[in-house]
Amino acid sequence: MRSTIPKVLHDLAGRPLLAHVLEASGVGSDPPRGLTPYGVRPLGGSDPYAVTVVYGHGGEAVRQHFAGAPLNWALQEPQRGTGHALMQALPFLPEQGTVLVLYGDVPLICADTLRRLVELCQGKHLALLTQTFEDPTGYGRIIRNSAREVTAIREQKDASAHEKTITEINTGIMALPAGQVAGWLKRLSSQNAQNEYYLTDVIALAVQDGVAIHTITPGHAWEALGVNSKTQLAELERIHQGEIAKALMEAGVSLRDPARLDVRGTLTCAQDVTIDVGCVFEGVVTLANNVSIGAHCVIKNCTIGASSNVAPFSHLEGAVVGSNNKIGPYARLRPGTHTADHVHVGNFVEVKNSELGEGTKANHLSYVGDATVGKYVNVGAGTITCNYDGVNKHRTIIEDHVFIGSDTQLVAPVTVGRGATIGAGSTITTSVPADGLTLSRAKQTTLARWKRPVKKS
């Protein structure tokens, strides 16, 4: 990966590779990070089970990222192959049942495929996930006898010329009878080209012990693809995003271009939602009926009400938007923003930690921070709430039906009474009474004999 970050912590769709594998195997995912606790969701039945992560290079960073998750951790040091890795997990494995072996850099494996594998194993058979590739170079080959029964897996470096022509490959993902695992691992040998303990050698041992070996293929060709480079990571990202886009469209969402969508968390859409090109959704986002999202918007951890329109190039984070809102273009809603119904937040308007009442409009070039704004308020262009004195934040309260003229500064803490009008260009430092006109301006003067300077030759 040419990176200081452990491979399994590289992001795919906004989550580490390992988080995708844990989610598929029954441990809850983490969208957004730190906000959703991990939880156990068994693949089959209700029997308790444990998830063990075998870690090595850079593993402490991995442990820290998943701190608090219901995981066992087994250190593999030195790293001497996949069989050696499973040996480290032995103290955490059950005496009976099924042991499911997964890989932290194979993030697109689906829970349905794993469930089929576990059901095939039944705690007494050995179940393998295999696949057929036109070019199987680098993969272990599935060796079968004349009756098409699996007899062994041969790693690429140990395969004969004939065995290298086999196109059925081992994905590495398997389900093993727990009662047999310890005995098989003790019988593994490192006498091979890599001087490692291959987990794949367990297959030949199972044949010797008369354990039935079954195989299935994944539901999708891309499920068992691994990540070993930034190029492969990008390829899997597009596959994953394509599947998300497909699911959204099947649920009724209109995507202007499915290839230009990025969901890095959870996106939930009601009926008749439209999303234009280049949009990024992060964390947990919920869009109600008839919501329209314009091109190139970034929306993170937001709820957007019915029939609201977010115009292009708007950024929303941690906001709750009411119904029939018009947001943007080029608007920014920061965390703590709550808008009621029929609110307008226009171009180059920023709102932070504020409530905007029903029918309120801030159509352009304004900053509303740490404010409580009532109903049907008009915020003129260039208006700002001066909420920070250099040490502390202060709140501005604007009551219903207030009209604020352009280029007004409201120096918090300050309250503007119901129905008040503030003249353009005013700096308000004390509370404003209801209904009247308040303004603060220097007297306008004109110098009749003044002449504009002329540039010297």
Cα 35–Cα 39–Cα 41 angle in degrees, nearest 5: 140
pLDDT at 43: 55
What CATH architecture applies to the domain 230-438? Answer: 3 Solenoid (2.160)
Catalytic residues, by residue number, are 364
CA quadruple 329, 394, 336, 359: dihedral sign: negative
What pLDDT score was predicted for residue 57?
78
Distance CA 223, CA 356 (A): 46
Domain residue extents for the chain: 7-216, 230-438
pLDDT given for residue 50 in this prediction: 82
The number of C-alpha atoms within 13 Å of 315 and in the hemisphere containing its C-beta is 8
Phi and psi at residue 204, to the nearest 5°: -60, -35
User: How would you classify the pairing of strands 326-327 and 309-310?
Assistant: parallel
Q: Do domains 7-216 and 230-438 have the same CATH topology?
A: no
pLDDT digits (tens, 9 = 90+) for 336-386: 999 999 999 999 999 999 999 999 999 999 999 999 999 999 999 999 999
pLDDT at 27: 60
| Burial degree of 20 (CB within 10 A; 0-12, 13-18, 19+) | buried
Place of tokens 């005995």: 183
- Counting as low any pLDDT under 50, the low residues of the chain are 28-42, 45-48
What is 7-216's CATH number?
3.90.550.10
What does the block give as tokens for 355? 């409530």
Dihedral, CA of residue 33, residue 38, residue 44 and residue 45, to nearest 10: -160
Tokens 């008369």, located at residue:
210
Name the residue type at position 241.
Q
- Residue 68: its pLDDT value, please? 84
Q: What is the reported pTM?
A: 0.89
Q: Which amino acid is it at 329?
A: P
